[in-house]
Amino acid sequence: MVKEVGIGAGIGVLIILALKGFNILPVIFFGFLVFFLWQMLSPSLSISSQTGIKEGNKKIPHVKFDDIGGQETAKNELIEALNFVKNLDRIKYMGIRPIKGILLSGPPGTGKTMLAKASARYTDSVFKATSGSEFIEMYAGLGAKRVRQLFKEARQSAKKYGKSSAIVFIDEIDVVGGKRGQVTSHLEYDQTLNQLLVEMDGLSVDDEVQILVMATTNRIDILDPALLRPGRFDRIVQVDLPAKEGRLSILKIHTSNKPLAEEVNLEQIARETFGFSGAHLENLTNEAAIMAMRGNEDQIHQKHFLEAIDKVIMGEKLDRRPGKEELKRIAVHETGHALVGEKFCPGSVSAITITSRGKALGYVRHNPRDDMYLQTRDYIEKQIGISIAGAIAEDILLNDRSTGATNDFKKAVKLANKMVASGMTDLGVVEESTVPKQLLHEERTKIFKKVEKKVRNIINNNKEIMEKITRKLVEEERFSGDELRRLLNN
């Protein structure tokens, strides 16, 4: 109000001076110069408010919970907490302290920011968003000032748009929420965190505007304990990588605006993308559409999705092509992985390729029939066998080994160490770090010899199939898991 009165008075004075014959051009120029310098030097908080509905609720994002797939558990937990914001009169009557903060924790690309936006839409709240990095600068006290300004602007925006609640969203809060005392040369981090704690402590159920703080992190282990105690971030919602059903729902969302061919099997794609986040799956559907357009096709086919999976995992195809002898060795190596993988885990091999991608000269894509979260001794031994199968195939069919198995051996050693740490060996229950190196080496060697014997038997009994697949790989660079299973069944 004061600002508007001042501007009006200034314009009035300029009009009176002009009527009296004064030259007001220098005054106008000087005024614009002062205003420009003030805007440039003012340390105001730059908050990236998310764009929302153009008419009416301008500060409320478009995203709804229905637009987010694969996170049913996280959505249900969020909705339960958000109902406290929606039913304010009821929680006052019951004497319930309002939830002040919700922390979304999980790997990158799992939809944490989208969940925060959907929360604002669900509660009809103004959405003020910023990131942890925007608070910190070299000037002492500036971060704390920006925290105060953030909460102040959230309240003002809610009043402006006639809303009774606002969500303050801080992305990557670990930048300012790390454990205090770790950065001894720069107390700006601690001061900023202290101000955030003070602001959250001041939130009350009797406030004119109810403010809910939401934040995201994928490093919850480094956050200060004061942030995580009840009364600050009351709810910690784990946003994990989606399971198979979740991946299927995400694929359906991201392919709803794309022309799919009839043979496209989204359930198979969901099964073959174990470990993919929502961001990976969105990128997968986008890459499949790009490949279809590149081939001048009007529809996206299953082959485009399978090719896109390889690209998302391994990277783009490389122009380099190894020589004939080296190509044959790569084919033998990858066929060894695939054959033993199929014998140990029937139906798990999706494709074998010797096309160079990223740093890999060849690649076998294994897909579990179901997502696994616990691993048995038998399962780990089979994974060790699949890892060393490439080197053993080279040894049997080519009478020599190569450096191509280096990463395979590193993986096998890690798996053997996991067996020791999990009490799956003759050592019993031990602390891996306290086991003498020689004893650990002997135990790993025992595991490798046992597994290698099984792998050698499989490859020796299937030499003809190995050679047939190798020849076809050298000619066509790709061999499907279905073709491999047909050969083994015959």
Q: Write out the DSSP string of 331-350.
A: HHHHHHHHHHHHHHSTT-EE
Q: In terms of DSSP bridges, do strands 478-480 and 349-353 run parallel, antiparallel, or are they unpaired?
A: antiparallel
Q: Whole-angstrom Cα distance, residue 469 to residue 364?
A: 13
Q: Say whether pTM exceeds 0.85.
A: no
With a cut of 70, say whether residue 383 has pLDDT above it. Answer: yes
Q: Whole-angstrom Cα distance, residue 302 to residue 399?
A: 39
With a cut of 50, say whether residue 46 has pLDDT above it. Answer: no
Query: Please, which pLDDT band fits residue 44 given cuts at 50, 70 and 90?
Result: very low
With a cut of 90, say whether residue 391 has pLDDT above it. Answer: yes
- Could you tell me how many helices (H) and strands (E) the chain has, helices first? 19, 8
Going by C-beta distance under 8 Å and a sequence separation of 6 or more, which residues neighbour residue 97?
205, 231
Q: Whole-angstrom Cα distance, residue 262 to residue 256?
A: 14
Query: b or e along 62-99 (b: 16 or more beta carbons within 10 Å of the residue's beta carbon)?
Result: ebebeebbbbeebbebbeebbebbbeeeebeeeeeebb
Q: Is 69 left (phi over 0), alpha (psi -120 to 50) or beta?
A: beta
Q: Which residue has the tokens 């060795």?
A: 329
Average pLDDT, the chain: 83
Contact 332, 296 (CB under 8 A): no
Query: Please, which pLDDT band fits residue 444 given cuts at 50, 70 and 90?
Result: very high
Query: Please, which pLDDT band fits residue 284 given cuts at 50, 70 and 90?
Result: very high
| CATH number of 324-489, picked from 1.20.58.760, 3.40.190.10, 3.90.76.10, 2.60.120.480 | 1.20.58.760
- 334 classed as catalytic: yes
Query: Please, which pLDDT band fits residue 371 given cuts at 50, 70 and 90?
Result: low
Query: Please, which pLDDT band fits residue 33 given cuts at 50, 70 and 90?
Result: low
Q: Which CATH class is domain 65-238?
A: alpha beta
Q: Which of 172, 272, 307, 334 is catalytic?
A: 334
Q: Tell me the H-state helices in 295-402.
A: 302-314, 324-344, 377-398
Q: Which residue has the tokens 């925006």?
A: 157
E strand residue ranges, 85-174: 101-105, 126-131, 165-171
**Per-residue pLDDT at 56:** 36
**Per-residue pLDDT at 71:** 87
Q: Tell me the H-state helices in 205-277.
A: 225-228, 244-254, 266-271
**Per-residue pLDDT at 187:** 64
Q: Which residue has the tokens 């942030």?
A: 227
pLDDT tens track for 317-339: 766 677 888 889 999 999 999 99
pLDDT tens track for 253-281: 999 999 999 999 999 898 888 888 999 99
Helix orientation angle between 481-489 and 324-344, rounded to the nearest 10 degrees:
70
Half-sphere exposure of 270 (CA within 13 A, CB side): 22
With a cut of 90, say whether residue 93 has pLDDT above it. Answer: no
Domain boundaries, the chain: 2-41, 65-238, 244-314, 324-489
244-314 in CATH: which number? 1.10.8.60
**Per-residue pLDDT at 435:** 87
Query: Please, which pLDDT band fits residue 311 given cuts at 50, 70 and 90?
Result: confident
Q: Whole-angstrom Cα distance, residue 100 to residue 335?
A: 56
With a cut of 50, say whether residue 55 has pLDDT above it. Answer: no
Tell me what percent of the residues of the chain surpass a pLDDT of 70.
Answer: 83
- Of 44-48, 215-219, 344-348, 467-471, give the lowest mean pLDDT range: 44-48
With a cut of 80, say whether residue 295 has pLDDT above it. Answer: yes
Contact 158, 202 (CB under 8 A): no
Mapping DSSP to helix (H, G, I), strand (E, B) and coil, where does residue 366 land?
strand
With a cut of 60, say whether residue 196 has pLDDT above it. Answer: yes
**Per-residue pLDDT at 54:** 37
**Per-residue pLDDT at 131:** 83
